Amino acid sequence: MFVGGTRTGAALAACALASVVAVAVAGCGSSGGGGSAPSWAAKLGSGVTVESPGSPVPGNGSPQQVMVGVINAVTTGHLTDFCKYEEPSQQSQCNSQMSQVTASEAASQLPTFKNVKVAYAAIDGTKGLIGITGTVCVPNETPKCFTNNDPAALFDSGKSFSALWAQAQSAAANVYSLSPAIEVNGKWYAYSSSSS
């Protein structure tokens, strides 16, 4: 997700953005805390749970908490905190790589966020998709920034969860996409293409 394989430097920004955008939707409960699910939720597929936008805290208890943690790590510059949201098998390498990233490298390569909030999330078994609202800017990309104002964007497209999952895997770093997350041993982490 963020720092898979031997990615550092310029790749750090693209990986971070893909992860942040891919894991950027939040909610503290399931579909509206007692309210009904959004009208588009059924098209995601049987067994898919939709979580409403909320105010989650950083952590590994839900896909939304992962997204908040990722955004906090990037915006505060505490890059080794970023590694808490990598899958356990990748955390050691992430810590090693992130501890070597200088403040100037981070500032010139990592995404920036303006008015970003977690939006809807959808969970299908051990896979999660997260959305965000707000503006994300990625250095060295054209266009540099993208904005999403719709908390249900892409979720309400009529596509199934599996189709949205595949779409999130191939999305460019500088366009709005859902962020993928994966559950490992009861905890949530950012998903990367190198995930097993």
- Cβ of 107: how many Cβ atoms within 10 Å? 11
143 preceded by cis ω (within 30°)?
yes
pLDDT confidence bin for 141, thresholds 50/70/90: confident
b/e map 113-124, b = 16+ CB within 10 Å: beebbbbbbbbb
For 37-73, write each residue's pLDDT tens digit.
899 999 999 999 999 998 899 999 999 999 999 999 9
**Amino acid, res. 133:** T
Q: What percent of the chain has pLDDT over 90?
A: 60
The helix/strand/coil state of 126 is coil
pTM for the predicted model, two decimal places: 0.82
DSSP string across 18-51: HHHHHB----SSSTTTTSPPPTTGGGG-TT-EEE
pLDDT at 172: 85
pLDDT confidence bin for 35, thresholds 50/70/90: low
